[in-house]
Structure 1
Amino acid sequence: CYLFSRSGENYVDGKIKNLSKGNTEIVAEYIQECVDVDLFKVETEKEYSNNYIECIEEAKQEIQQDSRPKLKKYLSDISEYDNIVVAGACWWGTYPMSIFSELEGLDFRGKNVFSIMTHEGSGFGSSKQSLMIFCKGGNVMNGLAIHGAEVQESKKMIQKWAEENLK
């Protein structure tokens, strides 16, 4: 499971709240509890601002420039996996650009690729279309969009989805 999750100031249920752990990371941990998955946290070399407003402006600029932020570490081989979960928050209608920094160097031929998107109202945005572009040769499957404010109450639903799709 590739995941990008952001702690600190986040927009949750109409308010800016300080989160000790990002919603996407919580979702990934729920999945890991019920299905044996490896987690790979996508982390940028240059950290995003802890200030929510500044962070979303940084994200917007990355999208406008089609940036590929440098990551602290990269995976180079996913050959041992049949199912790949790409989990992230919906930033301006898609994944954070750091996710694409990781994905575009991998071989997805024959892999099932699942989108998990945490959001505050935009659902999947264009994440599925993005996966079709960046995960060439992979089978983009039905994923899961979770309202960030409801992550804590969604554990059973998330784990049911994982058991049905990832086992």
Structure 2
Amino acid sequence: MNYREEQCLIAYFSHAGWNYASGEIVDLPIGNTERVANMIRVYTGGNLFHIRTEMVYPNEYRKVVEIAKQQKTNHERPKLKKMVECMEEYTVIFLGYPNWCGTMPMAMWTFLESYDLSGKIIKPFCTHEGSGWGHSLEDIHDLCPQARIERGLTLLGTTILDAEDDVRRWLKE
């Protein structure tokens, strides 16, 4: 597929600040998922949409983990700061997120439940530190049963700075 000929949206949730990487906590000025989203933008020409919640997540890693666990346990749907205008114009949605608590951040549920994605092509991409997709792909299928979910890309956060070839290969498949 030539993505430059399609209307592509690159919708992603990313957390900058203190993150877990290679067994230690490191400060990331740009979140790993955001870095991948920007790489996809270069190769597809798609429109970027950073999924942000009204509640600002703390910078401190352990506090973010606590909040993520609570939101998942309570099946919360955090309110989003902004919505995509004219979602109907997009044919392909690159959907990016970090693996939080074995799946997507709950903000992704809010995002996916906010639109009718029937007939859309969804290409997920996920950053993680060893947990891979978790059960996020199943969750996307459950949330978007009428969309066509294509093969995704999962990347270790610690390899993001060297992931451009992986991103390019994935887009060519």
TM range (shorter): over 0.9
Q: Provide the residue aligned with 1:123 in structure 2.
A: 132
- Give unpaired runs (5+ residues) of structure 2: 1-9
- Give the structure-2-normalised TM-score: 0.91
Percent identity, aligned pairs only?
36
**Alignment correspondent of 2:80:** 71
Matched residue SS, 1:130:
helix
Residues 11-160 of structure 1 correspond to what in structure 2 (within 5 A)? 11-75=20-84, 77-160=86-169
Q: Distance in 2 between matches of 1:88 and 1:129?
A: 14
Mean Cα displacement is larger for which, 54-63 or 96-105? 96-105
Deviation at 1:24, TM superposition (A): 0.2
Aligned partner letter, 2:166: M
CA shift for structure 1 position 107 = 1.2
SS at match of 1:86: strand
1:160 CA displacement: 2.1
- Counterparts of 2:124 and 2:138 in 1: how far apart (Å)? 10
Secondary structure of the corresponding residue to residue 30 of structure 1: helix
- Return the TM-score normalized by structure 1: 0.94
Q: In structure 2, how many angstroms separate the alpha carbons of the residues matched to 1:56 and 1:76?
A: 30
Aligned to 2:3: none
Amino acid of the residue matched to residue 75 of structure 2?
D
Structure 1 residue 6 corresponds to structure 2 residue 15: yes
Q: CA deviation at 1:35?
A: 1.0
Matched AA of 1:52: Y
Which 4+ stretches in 1 moved above 6 angstroms?
Answer: none
Give deviations 1:94-137, integer Å, cap 9, x for gaps.
11001111110211111111111000001111111111111231
Identify unmatched segments of 5+ residues in structure 1. none
Partner-residue secondary structure (3-state), 1:142: coil
8 Å contact from structure 1 (residues 108, 135) kept in 2: yes
Kept in 2: contact 1:77–1:106 (CA 8 A): no
Instruction: Give yes or no for contact 1:75–1:102 (8 Å, CA) kept in 2.
Output: no
> Within 2, Cα distance between the matches of 1:106 and 1:62?
21
* RMSD, aligned α-carbons: 1.1
CA gap of 1:135–1:76, structure 2 versus 1, over 3 A, is farther
